[in-house]
């Protein structure tokens, strides 16, 4: 029940959202349910520290036959951070998203995303994971297109089609894998693969299809095209939510998949993962530096940051996985906050074109500092969370003897700094360009709740930098669990 | 549209389909059938009715807004999923009550039936919501 509640909370909201008509009540309920979800996820942390891996068998059917919900330390970490991001973006959306969208189900479909995200983090069954991906995809598709502006529809078509292709690959891979091994339970599959190590090549078609599916979801090179094509079109609150949650689910699945299955064929997959991660880092950051739209720069940076996590996964040591988890958490927080600031700029000025913007620091130094914190955390300046994230990744890389890729990561850090300084200079620092026609400001109502959620997020980023040690310790325990899949198998299949 | 034969057939069709769909729902657990297919079948009956009489008449038969029906469906599913927790079982576990009933004899009643009823109501509500919206856009209410 403790895990099932995380599905129940968004589900109950969906039910109430259909039954209740008044949008004011729905908004209050959304805040309430987001809070409850966050507190519940937080309560899982001490439980998982004590019990190590929480397993619930749905419908009391034993593990390889029924559907298991599993949460180890990694899942719980992701659940907590996702719930935190969701909580703050919900507060933010109450003032950032316009009234028509809020009335027409903005919160409703956000909770659809939350349900999909929570489900994917807990899925102990490959097909179940696919179903949660679909729940997430459908809700996010509606959120991208909600409002129906021309630009939005263009973005959402690309988003939908490329993500459906990813689902197709994923489900085709599941079918092949099921045909070969006769099971869908992750733990059971892993065990079966362990006993069939001599002819693993038979499984490669299925694994490659699933791997491509995850890479499209996680926006890795060369499958990232849907992300920068669609993320700058919906309202900023929606982009912030997506940036914090969606690609991270793909990366979560990739980490889970790698540590349970792909590592059996380590020689083949390690190269693939390292190359894809490295190229994502480089291409993402270079593409970002050529953009002149606030949100497009940040969208390309998602690709590059995801690359860091993937190379850290590719090192495949305890230090590497610790770094990957820490970096993933840092990225969810910092990236979301950067988008939250973009939302404020968009609200004040009605545009996010860097050439038109300027002089925002004088307008509100607080927001300027908030952007400074998140941007320079992304770029990796101490004492913010990004510094420790990058430090851990580089250290793990050197220890794992992957000098080349570590140097690449260092260079990418420099370019990230360049892009962030560019946004900082263009949006906050430079004088207002006089010769370009300014769009009239649209909305001058107070933005105190927007400010509140961004401040809390920034505090979390700073806090994660200042008190990094306990988080790193937790990530290390999680990484050790990930590197001993036999533990996961024992817990899920009930041998423990 | 004023065609008395079509109107009579549509009314009859809706009743036959409604009975059929409930039968499908009830036989679902052990034989082919179930809430999902029952809901689709019921919705086809309504669609046929709507094509002849217009979407307003569907709305007046089903009384509540389709949104409410979807909500009720999800609510039943939720209840069926949570009931086992209160007797100390994992969520979604099927709980059965086997009783003697007048007329039908021994009958098994359980939470899966409740779950399926929720799906039945939800699926019907969803399809009708789509169809009614399309009909309103096409102004199919003459």
pLDDT digits (tens, 9 = 90+) for A100-116: 888 888 899 999 999 99
Q: Is the pLDDT of residue A138 over 70?
A: yes
Residue A200 CB burial class (10 angstroms; 0-12, 13-18, ≥19):
middle
Q: Report residue A459's pLDDT band, with 50, 70 and 90 as the boundaries.
A: very high
Quick one: A134 exposed, middle or buried, by C-beta within 10 A (0-12, 13-18, 19+)? middle
The CA-CA-CA angle for residues B65, A134, A75, to 5°, reads 115
- At residue A172, the pLDDT reads 94
Chain B hits for A17, CB-CB cut-off 8 Å, are: 71
What stretch of H or E contains A87? Answer: helix A73-96
Chain B residues whose beta carbon lies within 8 Å of the beta carbon of residue A59: 90-94
Q: Inspect the interface and report whether the beta carbons of B91 and A56 lie closer than 8 Å.
A: yes
Q: Is the CB of residue A133 less than 8 Å from the CB of residue A217?
A: yes
Output the pLDDT for position A336. 92
Q: Any alpha helices (H) in A223-380, and if so which ranges?
A: 226-230, 236-260, 266-289, 294-315, 318-349, 360-363, 365-379
Nearest to A88 by CA among A343, A305, A258, A285: A343
Q: Do A58 and B90 touch (CB under 8 A)?
A: yes
Mean pLDDT of A344-363: 79
Residue A384 neighbours by CB under 8 Å, 6+ apart: A334, A373, A376, A377, A461, A462, A464, A465
Whether the per-residue pLDDT at A382 is higher than 70: the answer is yes
Give the number of domains in chain B. Answer: 1
State residue B141's pLDDT score. 65
Contacts of B81 in chain A (CB under 8 A): 4, 8
Q: At what angle do helices A236-260 and A73-96 cross, to 10 degrees?
A: 170
**Touching check for B94 and chain A: CB below 8 Å?**
yes
SS3 state at A221 = coil
Q: In the prediction, which pLDDT does A436 show?
A: 64
What does A324-359 look like in DSSP terms, one character per residue? HHHHHHHHHHHHHHHHHHHHHHHHHHS--BTTT---
How much is the average pLDDT of A271-298? 89
Answer whether A1 sits within 8 Å of B91, measured CB to CB.
Answer: yes
Q: Which of A5, A7, A19, A148 has the highest number of chain B CBs within 10 A, making it the mutation to test binding with B?
A: A19
Q: What is the pTM of this model?
A: 0.92
- Judge whether residue A320 has pLDDT over 60: yes
Instruction: Tell me whether residues B81 and A8 touch, CB distance under 8 A.
Output: yes
Query: The tokens of B10 are what?
Result: 């549509």
- B114 close contact with A: CB closer than 8 A: no
Q: Judge: B82–A58 Cβ closer than 8 Å, yes or no.
A: no
CA distance A17 to chain B (A): 8
Check CB contact under 8 Å for A1 and B90: yes
Residues of A in contact with B90 (CB under 8 A): 1, 4, 56-60
Band of residue A78 on the pLDDT scale cut at 50, 70, 90: very high
Answer whether B74 sits within 8 Å of A1, measured CB to CB: no
B74/A contact by beta carbon, under 8 A: yes
Which residues does A contribute to its contact with B (CB < 8 Å)?
Answer: 1, 4, 8, 11-12, 14-19, 56-60
From A117-126, A262-271, A452-461, the region with the lowest mean pLDDT: A262-271
**Which B residues, 5 through 44, put their C-beta within 8 Å of a C-beta on chain A?**
none
Scanning A105-149, the segments in alpha helix (DSSP H) are 106-122, 126-145
Which residue among A8, A11, A19 places its CB closest to the CB of B68? A19
- Taken in order A369, A370, A373, A375, is the CA torsion positive or negative? negative
| B85 shares contact with chain A (CB less than 8 Å) | yes
Q: Is B142 a residue whose pLDDT tops 60?
A: no
B69 has a pLDDT exceeding 90: yes
B70 CB neighbours in chain A (<8 A) are 18
**Inter-residue contact A436 to A398 (CB < 8 Å):** no
pLDDT at A352: 79
Domain with B28, as residue range(s), is 4-138
Q: Report DSSP letters for A390-442, one per residue.
A: HHHHHHHHHHTT-HHHHHHHHHHHHHHHHHHHHHIIIIIISPPPSSSPPPPP-
For residue A456, pLDDT beyond 90: yes
Query: Residue A256 pLDDT > 60, yes or no?
Result: yes
A60 vs B74: CB contact, 8 Å cut-off? Answer: no
Size of interface A-B (CB pairs under 8 A): 46
ipTM over 0.95: no
Query: CA A69, A82, A172 angle in degrees (round to 5)?
Result: 55
Which residues of chain B have a CB within 8 Å of the CB of A54? none
């Amino acid at each position: 029940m403790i895990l099932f509640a995380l599905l129940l909370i968004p589900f109950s909201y969906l039910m109430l959202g259909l039954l209740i008509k008044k949008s004011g009540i729905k908004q209050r309920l959304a805040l309430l349910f987001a809070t409850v979800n966050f507190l519940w996820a937080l309560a899982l942390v001490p439980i998982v520290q004590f019990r190590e891996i929480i397993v619930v068998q749905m419908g009391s059917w034993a593990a390889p036959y029924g559907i298991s919900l599993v949460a180890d330390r990694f899942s719980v970490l992701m659940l907590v951070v996702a719930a935190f991001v969701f909580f703050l973006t919900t507060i933010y959306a109450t003032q950032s998203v316009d009234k028509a969208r809020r009335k027409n189900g903005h919160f409703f479909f956000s909770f659809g995303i939350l349900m999909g995200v929570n489900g994917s983090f807990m899925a102990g069954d490959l097909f179940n994971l696919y179903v949660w991906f679909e729940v997430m995809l459908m809700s996010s598709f509606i959120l991208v297109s909600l409002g129906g502006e021309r630009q939005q529809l263009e973005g959402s078509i690309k988003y939908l089609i490329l993500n459906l292709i990813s689902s197709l690959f994923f489900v085709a891979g599941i079918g092949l894998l099921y045909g070969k091994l006769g099971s869908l339970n992750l733990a059971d599959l892993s065990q079966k693969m362990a006993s069939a190590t001599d002819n693993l090549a038979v499984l490669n078609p299925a694994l490659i299809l699933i791997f491509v599916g995850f890479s499209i979801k996680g926006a890795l090179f060369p499958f990232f095209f849907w992300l920068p094509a669609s993320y700058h079109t919906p309202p900023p609150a929606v982009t912030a939510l997506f940036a914090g949650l969606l690609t991270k689910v793909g990366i979560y699945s990739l980490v889970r998949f790698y540590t349970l299955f792909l590592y059996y064929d380590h020689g083949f997959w390690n190269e693939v993962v390292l190359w894809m991660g490295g190229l994502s880092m480089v291409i993402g950051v270079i593409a970002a530096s050529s953009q002149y739209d606030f949100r497009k720069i940040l969208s390309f940076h998602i690709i590059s940051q995801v690359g860091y996590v993937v190379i850290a996964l590719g090192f495949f040591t305890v230090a590497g996985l610790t770094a990957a988890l820490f970096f993933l958490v840092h990225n969810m927080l910092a990236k979301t906050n950067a988008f939250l600031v973009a939302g404020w700029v968009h609200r004040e000025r009605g545009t996010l074109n860097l050439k038109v913007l300027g002089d925002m620091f004088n307008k509100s130094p607080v927001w300027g500092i908030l952007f400074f914190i998140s941007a320079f955390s992304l770029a990796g300046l101490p004492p913010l969370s990004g510094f420790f994230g990058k430090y851990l990744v580089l250290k793990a890389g050197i220890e794992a003897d992957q000098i080349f890729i570590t140097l690449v990561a260092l260079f990418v850090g420099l370019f990230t700094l360049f892009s962030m300084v560019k946004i900082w200079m263009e949006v906050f620092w430079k004088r207002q360009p006089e010769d370009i026609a300014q769009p009239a400001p649209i909305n001058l109502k107070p933005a105190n709740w927007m400010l509140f959620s961004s401040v809390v997020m920034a505090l979390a980023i700073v806090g994660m930098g200042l008190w990094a040690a306990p988080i790193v310790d937790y990530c290390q325990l999680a990484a050790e669990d990930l590197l001993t899949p036999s533990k996961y198998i024992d817990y899920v299949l009930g041998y423990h | 549209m004023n065609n008395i034969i079509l109107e009579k057939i549509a009314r009859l069709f809706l009743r036959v389909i409604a009975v059929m769909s409930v039968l499908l729902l009830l036989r679902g657990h052990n034989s082919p059938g179930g809430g999902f297919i029952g809901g689709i079948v019921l919705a086809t009956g309504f669609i046929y009715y709507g094509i002849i009489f217009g979407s307003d008449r569907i709305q007046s038969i089903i009384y509540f807004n389709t949104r409410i029906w979807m909500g009720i469906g999800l609510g039943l599913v939720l209840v069926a999923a949570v009931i086992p927790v209160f007797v100390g079982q994992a969520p979604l576990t099927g709980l059965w009550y086997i009783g003697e009933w007048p007329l039908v004899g021994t009958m098994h009643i359980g939470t899966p039936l409740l779950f399926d009823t929720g799906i039945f109501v939800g699926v019907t509500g969803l399809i009708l919501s789509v169809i009614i919206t399309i009909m309103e856009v096409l102004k199919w209410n003459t």
